[in-house]
Structure 1
Amino acid sequence: MDIPPLGTHATTRTRPLCYSHAWDTGVPRIADARDAVAALLSQVRPAPARRSVQDAQLVVSELVTNAARHAPGPCALRLELTPDGAALRVSVTDTSTEPLRRRTPDPLRIGGHGLFLVAMLSGGLEVTWLSDGKRVTATVPLTAGNG
């Protein structure tokens, strides 16, 4: 059996790409959260389709906005590429103990469409109840593209 010399074998990523940020006080800058998605996904090879990046940015924007609007305290964002690179898991933790309220779509209403969009783009939402709030997770599929 031939064993290649050190430094000549291919390396594999042992940990998926991820990003996390917590906001202790104040309203998080939603643009920063969207920028974090773009920066993280720019490291993925093959590059995800532009539409996939935009979908992930919209999901992050809606979830962080909901946390800032409806939760009384700090919140946190975690982005994690699935090990196979086929999806981005977006988790937002907040201090609200209220359940999510997904409204029926109404084209005449201003606002209130965020959770509907998130569920549509991610295929669903997962809510994990914590001792001091909740974590909302959406998994956004990524399709390969030309960047």
Structure 2
Amino acid sequence: MAPPSTEPVPTAPDDPLSHTISWDDEPQLIGEARDAARRLLARAGYGPEGQASKDAQLIVSELVTNAVRFAPGPGSLVLDIDPPSETLRITVRDSSRRRPRPQHHDRALPGGHGLRLVALLCTYLETSVTETGKQVVAHFRLPGAPRPRGGALA
């Protein structure tokens, strides 16, 4: 299995801040995906201890976990921040054509609540089936409009 590929996307001052991760079948990439979200938001002026960063990391973690857990094979995560609209767009693609569905809520059992949390935190959540699987797109509204910082992701 090939290791995840992390591709920083250069940005111009008026372009959205972006980051892409691709994988074959790598469960350890969930932490890398959270780190990528944290670093991208820091580049955009949102501190890692702030609620926006924590919520964004949770959304990314839940969506990537579902992709890795339920769709073996290749997948990708694309993070885009558009400062004028104060929105983080999270796009996760995987090899399964099955749409994610919220699990039955059972307080006695752990887990199964991730998609509900994502839906509560996001202003937009859509799944579309593609020729090679599916794509889940979530929009997370960022508070305020801090000025983006230049430079590639570390």
Structure 2 equivalent of residue 40 of structure 1: 40
Report deviation, 1:74. 1.1
Evaluate the alpha carbon distance shift between residue 99 and residue 42 of structure 1 in structure 2; reply closer, same or farther with a 3 A threshold: same
More strand by share: 2
Q: Is the CA contact 2:71–2:94 (under 8 Å) kept in the aligned structure 1?
A: yes
* Deviation by residue 1:7-63 (Cα, 9 ceiling, x = unmatched): xxxxx7221100001002332421111110111011114x36810110000000000
Structure 2 equivalent of residue 5 of structure 1: none
Report deviation, 1:145. 9.1
- TM-score w.r.t. structure 2 length? 0.79
RMSD: 2.1
Structure 1 equivalent of residue 87 of structure 2: 87
Identity %: 40
Q: Gaps (5+ residues) in structure 1?
A: 1-11
* SS of residue in 2 equivalent to 1:126: strand
Distance 2:69 2:131 in 1: 20
Runs of 4+ with >3 A deviation? none
- TM-score w.r.t. structure 1 length? 0.82
Evaluate the alpha carbon distance shift between residue 28 and residue 129 of structure 1 in structure 2; reply closer, same or farther with a 3 A threshold: farther
Distance 2:90 2:111 in 1: 21
Q: Is the CA contact 1:105–1:116 (under 8 Å) kept in the aligned structure 2?
A: no
Structure 1 equivalent of residue 29 of structure 2: 29
Once the two structures are superposed, the pairs formed by residues 1-147 of structure 1 within 5 Å of their partners are 13-45=13-45, 47=46, 50-84=50-84, 86-144=86-144
What is the number of residues matched between the two proteins?
A: 134
